[in-house]
Amino acid sequence: MTSYVSATEAERREMLATIGVGSIEDLFAEIPSGLRLGRALALDAGLSEQEVYDELRALAARNVSAEDEVSFLGAGMYDHYVPALIDSIISRSEFLTPYTPYQPEISQGGLQAMFEYQTAISELTALPVSNASVYEGPSAVAAAGYVAKLENHRGRFVVSRGVHPHARETLATLAKGYGMEIEEVPLRDGVTQLPALDEGVSAVVLQQPNFLGVVEDIAPLAAGARAAGALTICSCDPIPLALLKPPGECGVDVAVGEGQTLGNRLDFGGPSFGFFAATEALLRRMPGRIAGETTDVEGRRGFVLTLQTREQHIRRERATSNICTSQALNALAGVIYLSWLGRRGLVELAELMLQRTAYAREQLAAVPGVELLVERPVVRELALRLDAPVERVIARCREQGINPGYPLGRDYPELADGLLVAITERRTRADIDRLVAVLGAAVATELETMAVRA
């Protein structure tokens, strides 16, 4: 713990004299009086360091982590196992401050890490160009929308309701800033059905698998967008890409996504990293920076920053992005994780998740008062419809040490009876069997309570 030691009164006077100011109040003279408080802050006497520590410890104890309960909560952030190797490497001193490597001659390690990361993302997405990461998944979707606007100068995005609610909200916020409209397309039977597109559509925004865990048929959707002259943006879960046809082979122009599942812990919601890959035609419109491989004058392999779109230097007012240092440490964890798994390991992990999701789906669908929300193929997540109040069922399950999932009604009012259940390799068959028993008991109890009240 770092303690704060304030300056003494004598030190304050010395500093004020050095800069030629009579008092601290003079430093704020330019602030209009109407915006100033005009009195001293009403602060308590304060607590000792030990008392502050005890208070913060008590507050922290109120948090419940995925280590404390069996969690089937997902909806964009997932409880995957993170191997010890990752902490061992990213804790090395040379990686702790991965600031923009302006001087390649002294930044070869960091630049190579970026290059290897970009290569891995390109291989996952089957798209030729990847940047060195962005802030997180929703920001990546919004940045992709801006790339589309710059590319075709059209004024509307068509966005599937199957795209993560946070990504839709982030895209809508940025779109308003640069004068774009958002048209949301509802899901039918759990998948996206595009309407006829006109020449005003800049991009179609999809998710694979979608927010309900349903596998979308991306290729015909992308073909429809291309026929209308629009780009296709697809937000992807990287692990299922080991089994699904990659977006680049489906006609997608920009593939983005949340990278938390790749070697990054939940960490109470962050930080994580977003990935961004695109066709070569969009290379110069991409946000952030791209590391490239080259050779020096002696023919030795080396790495450099090939492209960067920051506004603070190089392009200035012509910049297409203000992203800079980004999430380099988190992205490094991602490429270490992918290297640790290897090609075969990633496929095996995805297959394991697929098998356990199928098992959970079969077992949960047999519980009285529970039915499948969607019958189509799913991976990682499955949506259920409960006959009992979802929030009350969740509360009862959590009393038994089980977090059964995410209440869909929070983001989809039309699915107020929906529960989204997430599966990772950390959820064993025994965990799934326990979920079935606990969820079944909670639904039955709530149904009995409702019957009594009626």
The whole-number average pLDDT for the span 21-37 is: 89
Q: What is the pTM of this model?
A: 0.88
The pLDDT of residue 77 is 96
Question: Among the ranges 160-169, 286-295, 310-319, which has the highest mean pLDDT value?
Answer: 160-169
The domain made up of 70-80+342-453 has a fold known as: Aspartate Aminotransferase, domain 1 (3.90.1150)
The pLDDT of residue 33 is 87
In sign, the C-alpha dihedral spanning 49, 54, 59, 61 is positive
The domain made up of 84-337 has a fold known as: Aspartate Aminotransferase; domain 2 (3.40.640)
Residues 6+ apart with CB under 8 A from 332: 89, 90, 95, 98, 113, 117
- Percent helix, percent strand, percent coil in the chain, to nearest 5: 45, 15, 40
3-state secondary structure of 375: coil
Helix ranges (H only) for 6-136 are: 9-19, 49-61, 84-90, 108-125
The 10s digit of each residue's pLDDT in 96-122 is 665 667 777 778 888 899 999 999 999
The pLDDT of residue 1 is 45
Position of tokens 């997608």?
A: 252
Pull the structure tokens for residue 226: 């291309």
Residues 6+ apart with CB under 8 A from 164: 75, 76, 137, 138, 141, 207, 211, 235, 258
Q: How many CB atoms lie within 10 A of CB 44?
A: 5
Rounded-to-integer distance, Cα 226 and Cα 220, Å: 10
Residues 6+ apart with CB under 8 A from 130: 117, 118, 119, 121, 122, 275, 276, 277, 278, 290
Calculate the average pLDDT of the chain. Answer: 92
The pLDDT of residue 40 is 82
What is the total residue count of the chain?
A: 454
Question: How does DSSP classify residue 208?
Answer: E
The amino acid at 246:
P
The 10s digit of each residue's pLDDT in 351-385 is 999 999 999 999 999 999 999 999 999 999 999 99
Q: Where are the domains of the chain?
A: 70-80+342-453, 84-337
